[in-house]
């Protein structure tokens, strides 16, 4: 290290000239502007300590060892798994294991080229309607690679993201009034004699719009037979390797109390009297006291559809869609439907159920013409 006094346009000042050295680097520095020889020496000594610890601004950035996409994913997963619910973790891992790792797992992060990425994106867009949600996970991983200095630029910034394809001839999303009546008639008159538990679950879903995971986590202690209410306080989550667990409802607004009509209460009471699992903490719907598998309600619904040709092509989620559609048709406000379904905001209700009915749209088209004879 050399300390000397130098002349500048602003007068004399002290300058330090020397090398910062640690086990892996050596950097020459030259800095002036000190008002004394002592302050110049003190600054250099302080900077030398910082440099030795890798904390100096003069330390050169050393890129971490180059990883494959799968290695980077595993490293990211170690942290991510502690920040989300097990059900969310399960969905995320499934996306990577099905759509990302098979294609990119053995590729070095530094070898990901925009051209190859563009071809992958184009293929995904052709196979999956809502492909951007899936590829968004991959982009999240590459953003991490940029932050860790493995990549200087995110390759996604250099490609075109095609517009998601529109789905023409969409499958039926809900039942109209007549179809709903036919469905309930089949449940009440026929299916109730075949599988009482399935009948009760499907009917409750149809008349409340409850989510499948809410139906499966419902306990008898949450059913108020005296006043006609059901309290939604928990849901069934999907864990790893096909496991399930009880969790908090989907959102704060999902925790709610639902008013149940007298006929539905009678059906529930009948099931309560029929099942041996009717203690307060027993699940309303169960297999030998344990929660049902998540797909069981859909299998029951498809069984009804196949046997009686009602609710054709519908799922439990579309049964919920049907409830919202018919409720609005019968005069319920969007806000009321939002509250009953437990949506976080009105926008979600409007977005999911924007196609309430073609009849409503047709009627709107002639509103102003009615003003003129």
- Name the pLDDT band for 62 (thresholds 50, 70, 90): low
In a domain, 59, yes or no: no
In a domain, 328, yes or no: yes
Query: Are 222 and 354 members of one domain?
Result: yes
Query: Are 197 and 320 members of one domain?
Result: yes
Overall average pLDDT of the 120-128 stretch? 93
Query: Are 152 and 182 members of one domain?
Result: no
- Name the pLDDT band for 350 (thresholds 50, 70, 90): low
Can you give the pLDDT at residue 307? 94
Task: Kindly tell me the sign of the dihedral angle through the C-alpha atoms of 54, 57, 58, 61.
Answer: positive
Query: Are 190 and 266 members of one domain?
Result: yes
Query: Are 194 and 295 members of one domain?
Result: yes
In a domain, 43, yes or no: yes
In a domain, 150, yes or no: yes
In a domain, 166, yes or no: no
Structure letter (DSSP) for residue 328: H
In this structure, are residues 29 and 58 in contact, taking their beta carbons and an 8 Å threshold?
yes
Query: Are 100 and 181 members of one domain?
Result: no
Query: Are 237 and 318 members of one domain?
Result: yes
Query: Are 117 and 10 members of one domain?
Result: no
For residue 361, pLDDT over 60 is answered with no
Report the CATH number at residue 272: 1.10.443.10
Q: Which long-range contacts (CB under 8 A, 24 or more apart) does 181-184 make?
A: 182/310, 183/304, 183/310, 183/311
Q: How far apart are CA 334 and CA 346, in angstroms?
A: 7
Token readout for 74 is 């595993």
Q: How far apart are CA 121 and CA 15, in angstroms?
A: 56
Q: What is the mean pLDDT of the chain?
A: 87
Query: Are 149 and 272 members of one domain?
Result: no
- Name the pLDDT band for 367 (thresholds 50, 70, 90): very low
Q: Render pLDDT for 319-336 as a digit per residue (tens, 0 to 9).
A: 998 998 888 888 888 888
For the chain, how many structural domains are there in total?
3
Overall average pLDDT of the 342-358 stretch? 62
Backbone angles phi, psi at 372, to 5 degrees: -115, 130
In a domain, 218, yes or no: yes
Strands 286-287 and 290-291: antiparallel
Tell me which of 128, 158, 188 is where a domain ends. Answer: 158
The percent of residues above 70 in pLDDT, for the chain, comes to 89
Q: Render pLDDT for 260-299 as a digit per residue (tens, 0 to 9).
A: 999 999 999 999 999 999 999 999 999 999 999 999 999 9
Given phi > 0 = left and psi -120 to 50 = alpha, else beta, which region is 228? left
In a domain, 365, yes or no: no
Q: How far apart are CA 283 and CA 289, in angstroms?
A: 7
Query: Are 35 and 184 members of one domain?
Result: no
Q: Render pLDDT for 211-227 as a digit per residue (tens, 0 to 9).
A: 999 999 999 999 999 99
Count of other CB atoms within 10 angstroms of residue 16:
23
For residue 370, pLDDT over 80 is answered with no
Q: Render pLDDT for 229-262 as a digit per residue (tens, 0 to 9).
A: 999 999 998 887 778 889 988 788 889 999 999 9
Can you give the pLDDT at residue 34? 87
Query: Are 287 and 327 members of one domain?
Result: yes
Domain extent, residue 80, equals: 69-158
pTM: 0.66
Report the CATH number at residue 95: 1.10.150.130
Q: Render pLDDT for 305-324 as a digit per residue (tens, 0 to 9).
A: 999 999 998 999 999 989 98
In a domain, 296, yes or no: yes
Query: Are 281 and 334 members of one domain?
Result: yes
Query: In 188-311, which ranges are E strands?
Result: 223-224, 229-232, 235-238, 244-247, 256-259, 286-287, 290-291
């Amino acid at each position: 290290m050399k300390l000397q006094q130098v002349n500048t346009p602003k007068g004399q000042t002290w300058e330090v000239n020397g090398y910062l050295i640690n086990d892996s680097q050596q950097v020459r520095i030259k800095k002036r502007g000190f008002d004394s020889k002592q302050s110049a020496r003190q600054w250099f000594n302080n900077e030398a300590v910082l440099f030795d610890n890798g904390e100096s601004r003069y330390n050169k950035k050393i890129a971490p060892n180059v990883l494959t996409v799968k290695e980077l994913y595993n490293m990211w997963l170690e942290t991510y798994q502690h920040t989300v619910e097990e059900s969310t973790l399960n969905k995320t891992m499934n996306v990577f294991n099905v759509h990302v790792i098979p294609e990119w797992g053995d590729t070095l992060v530094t070898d990901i080229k925009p051209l190859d990425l563009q071809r992958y994106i184009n293929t995904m867009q052709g196979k999956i309607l809502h492909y951007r949600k899936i590829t968004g996970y991959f982009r999240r991983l590459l953003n991490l690679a940029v932050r860790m200095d493995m990549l200087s630029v995110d390759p996604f910034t250099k490609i075109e993201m095609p517009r998601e394809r529109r789905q023409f001839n969409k499958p039926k999303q809900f039942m109209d009034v007549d179809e709903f009546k036919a469905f309930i008639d089949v449940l009440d008159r026929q299916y109730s004699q075949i599988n009482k538990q399935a009948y009760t679950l499907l009917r409750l879903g149809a008349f409340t719009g409850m989510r499948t995971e809410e139906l499966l986590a419902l306990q008898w202690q949450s059913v108020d037979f005296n006043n006609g209410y059901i309290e939604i306080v928990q849901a069934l989550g999907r864990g790893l390797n096909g496991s399930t667990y009880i969790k908090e409802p989907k959102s704060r607004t999902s925790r709610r109390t639902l008013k149940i009509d007298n006929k539905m209460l009678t059906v529930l009471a009948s099931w309560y009297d029929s099942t041996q699992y009717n203690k307060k903490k027993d699940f309303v719907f169960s297999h030998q006291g344990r929660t049902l598998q998540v797909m069981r309600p859909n299998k029951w619904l498809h069984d009804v559809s196949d046997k009686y040709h009602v609710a054709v092509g519908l799922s439990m989620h579309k049964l919920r869609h049907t409830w919202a559609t018919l409720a609005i048709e019968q005069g319920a406000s969007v806000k009321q439907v939002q509250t009953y379904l437990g949506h976080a905001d009105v926008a979600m209700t409007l977005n999911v159920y924007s196609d309430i009915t073609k009849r409503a749209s047709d009627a709107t088209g002639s509103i102003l013409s009615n003003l003129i004879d």
